[in-house]
Structure 1
């Protein structure tokens, strides 16, 4: 599945805000749980913020899956 750069940029910005990191420090290949150290509440917050941006529901269980990356979040957002 293809993800456009604007969706990826949006998700990178959202993840950076929730993770309290500069957007430059968040990379598409980073895993939400394992690499960025986010917890389930933070991932739910990311899902809600993405929903607000794309105007469609996002299943936060997909984002909470082991190994889910920032790029995967963008794919889910693009498919929603």
Structure 2
């Protein structure tokens, strides 16, 4: 199981790739839907990439809810 700081760095790389943004623009307190503007297909892609990185299934519904931050994604990845 990755630590939350290690998971955060991984999640930031994944989200930057999916959102097609520089990694330094992906901050822990940003909201996936509201701040980064990810849509449901992009959230599904993020969930799949997290699954591949951590080797465990990730319920994309946990990522597709209002108020989910980049940091929360890291917590989900680290504890799933």
TM-score, structure 2 as length reference = 0.95
> Helix, strand or coil for the counterpart of 1:34?
coil
1:72 pairs with 2:72? yes
Cα offset for 1:60?
A: 0.2
Structure number with greater CO (CA < 8 Å, separation at least 6) is 2
1:17 is matched with 17
Cα-Cα RMSD = 0.7
**1:33-44 to 2 correspondences below 5 Å:** 33-44=33-44
Q: Stretches of 4+ moved more than 6 A in 1?
A: none
Matches of 2:72 and 2:6, distance apart in 1: 14
Matches of 2:29 and 2:60, distance apart in 1: 18
Cα offset for 1:4?
A: 2.5
1:6 pairs with 2:14? no
Matches of 2:4 and 2:34, distance apart in 1: 25
Count of residues in Structure 1 that have an aligned counterpart in Structure 2: 78
